[in-house]
Each structure stands twice: as C-alpha cells, then as structure tokens.
Structure 1
Amino acid sequence: MRRLLAAAAAAAVLLSACGDDAQDRAPADPTTTTESTATATTTEIADEAPTSAAPTTVTPTSASAETTTAEPAPEAAPAPTTAAPARPAVTACDDDGLSQDILGFPGGVSVDFCEDGWAFAAYPNAPGAPEFIAEQVDGRWFHAVAMGDPVCQDDLSARGAPAAVSKLLPPCVDAPAPTAGPTGSPTDPVAACVVSTKEYGDTHADLVAVTCDGARAEWGLAEANTEPSWTIPWVTPTGWECFVTPYDATSKAAGSCYGPDGTAYFTLYLP
C-alpha cells in the first residue's frame, strides 16, 4: 500500500512539474528576436525604398560628345611668303650681248676682250669704227668711256676697272687737252661750245656728230633727272646715255653723253 501511495505521489509531482515547465519557461532571447526582426524590416525597406546613399558628384558629359562627332579644327592658313626678288639676267660679254644692251639691237658692236665686268669694244659699222670701254652694271652693259675722252687711267681705276682695261687710257698727266668742236651749222666758224653744268660750272664740249645746241639739250635733261655717278648712266628720252661726273676737284671732265647708235657723243671738259 505504501508503495502504491509513493508511486502515485511521484507521478503527481512529475505531472505538476511538466505543467509548470510549459507555463513558466522563459521566453526566447529578446535580443535575438529584435535583431532578426530589424534585419527583416531593413531588408524589406531596402527592397521597397530607394537607398539614401551619400551624395556623389557626377561630372556632366557634353551632349555633343555623346551624340555628335566633333569637327576637326580648321587648319591655320600658311603664313604668306614673300618671294625673293628676281635677280636680273646677266648679259654675256660678247658682240651681240653688248650690242643689244647698248644699242638695242644685235650686230652693232665688236668685242675685243672682257675682264671682270669690263670690256674693250668698237662700233664696226660707225664711221671710223670708234673704240670704247663698256662696263657691266647689275647684269647690263653700258657704254662707259670712248677712246679719246678726257678720262685717264686713275679715273677708270677708281671706278673699279681692272688694270688690263685702265691701261688702255693715257696716264693722268698725259690726258688730252680740250679741243673746240663744231657749232650748229657746218658753215659757222669753228668755235668753242660752252655748256654750263651744276657741279663744275661752265665747260667746253668736245663734240662728235652732234651740234652744240643738241649737246646742251641732252645734257640739261640728264643733269636734271639723275644723281652724279661714275658708273650709272642716265638714258634721255631720245636714247642718249649720259654720265654726270660726281664733283671731284681733280676731275678733268664734268661728264659725257653717247648717242643711241654709238656714232655721236660729246664730253664736257673743264677749262
């Protein structure tokens, strides 16, 4: 009997313990439950609402760069270039070269020899075939001195002539004296032709195939339109080439002029 009562009491105790365990069991860990709930809630919000991320700066891109192709910049126009001035053609030192430059046509000059831009030549078709010395200036030939002009060796050397050309003239101490020339009419008596010059005053003209009035006219045009020069002649409107001598206290002539065909010329001697 005691055993039955003891067993019943033990069973009652066990039943009572089970009921209390079911009622009095501690709830689940609130921290774990809260975190799980927060995580689930955060995940749902993330799926439904846009993420509020830290602001970032986005560099705008050029619409033209995305939609159009940039045209290449126009090439700069090349800088204008200044063409170098054409050098004058150098005329050959031969018969036709001198004739074309001095007379304006070929066949009127016969060249004896040339040296360093100077030539000794003659006009074979003119009366007496007068000889002369020519000089080349800027590639062109000019009648420089007629043989018999009052120009001596030192004068020509000072103008740059080589010794082989200068020696064709008389030494300066032996320069020819001025001579009288014919006047306008063949019947007039021989008299000195006086031509007034700016640089040297009155001069006496030695005339060859030209009248005194003609010489004055050509000289007046030349002296009024050109600067004095040993080497550069001035061509008058009628084709005469005139050298106006720069002032020199030792000069024996004020200048000279030569006709277009080489047969007429005159020199102005100092008194």
Structure 2
Amino acid sequence: MIVYFSATGNSKHVAHKIAMEIDDWARPIEELKLEKHVEARAGGVFGIVCPTYFCGIPVIMEEFLKKVKMFVGEDCYFFFVSTYGGNSGMSADMVEEILNERGLKLDAKYGVKMPDTWAPIIDLNDKSKIAAINSDADKNILRIAEQIKNREKGNFIKNKKSRFFAKFNYRVYDRMRETKNFIVTDACTGCKLCIKRCPIKVIEMVNDRPSWITDQCVMCLGCYHRCPMNAIQYGSSTKGHGQYIHPNDLDETDKA
C-alpha cells in the first residue's frame, strides 16, 4: 500500500509507478482521510509519497500523518519518498519525527527530483527541460522500486539542505499560504475545475468567480496549474511563467 498527496501529478506518478513495479496499489490521502484507519499487512509494504514545500511537507500531509490511525504489521517494509524541485529540505525528517512520535519507524527514505511547480519563482515554459527532468525521474523511480523490492534500509536522499536552512525556509510557507495572494482574471469562464480539484475544498463560486473562503490553504497551486484558461494567478509573480501538470495525470477531470 502506498499513500500520497499530489497537486500537479508528480507525486501521484511516483506513487503509482512504484506500486505498479512492486505489484501493489496507491491511493491519495484525500480519499483515506474519510476512513478511520490505514492498515498495512504484516510482511507487506507501506509507502508514503509527497512533494516538498518550502523544505518541508504540505500541511495536508502533516495533518494526515498526525491524525489518521495507522496500523503497520510486523515486518512491514515502511518507506517515504520525497518529490522535490530544488532540494528535499527536511521533508523526510519531518515525516520521520511525526511517525516516531506515534511509535512508528521508517525503514527507508528516498528522493525523486521532479519539475519544480512553484510558479511564482519558476518559469515552466521550457518543455524540453521539463521532459528531461521527468525522463531522469522515471529512471530513478525504477531504481527505487528495485530497492523497495529488496527491502533496502537507510536514507537514500542525496539532494537536501541543512536543518538550519530548511527550518528557516519552512517558516516562510505559513505566510505564502495566505489565499489573499490569489487573483482571478477576466479570462475565467466559471468552469469550476478549480473547485473540483482543490484538495481541501476552500474555493467557492461567488458572483460567477472562484473565491477562497479561508485565509490560508495548502498552497499546492493545483488551481493555478489546472485552470484551462490560466485565469488564476498568484499575485503578479506567476504571470507568463506557464503551467504544469505531469503528462500522466492529464485526464477527463481536467476538462471543464
């Protein structure tokens, strides 16, 4: 069993590709949050996959790990995979600390470099560069799947920052999560795709335009990247920076 959070499809792709290689299954935490517990069978495999946000983990994954009851059977291989654009920061450390507090222990930690989707800074218009990153990622995912099959133990994440730098950077995340940063341009057609895709359902239609009903959100930017008209922007900083969805995550639900 592999659980994951994914806004633009990177972590979803990693989770499902590993699941396919090890003959297992993967599910998003948004579905599992509705259940009372998650159980991994004795001798089986339990994996967690999520993106790195500001050198840490998304608040939705933090909440999931702290609140959902997890039962890990004896001799179950327990692993975490961090997907990241620049570096994995302290994402694996955060997950490990939460699990340790709950009496659970990771056997292995992995990292997969994927296209960085933080559009306020990253320009995503170079499709050949993105394709090259995804190609390298697929090779890495296959290597990780083999390590999981062999039940290798240890920290296999290479690209990470110091704990001091990561903690400093993660403090910025709370401020960046403010929904007042979003604007909706006149290009909006009212298709409501942003509402359907919001992982915590904090977008509603007000006067035929998307409106954020909380002061903060996960800031996954799924609404920005999946808008078919590119009508949702993060202030003025995303203008002209392009959108990104992993090529294996484009389906009918992304159509109005």
TM-score, normalising length from structure 2? Answer: 0.21
Q: Is the helix fraction higher in 1 or 2?
A: 2
Computing the radius of gyration over CA atoms, which structure comes out larger, 1 or 2?
A: 1
Higher relative contact order (CA 8 A, sep 6+): 2
TM-score (norm 1): 0.20
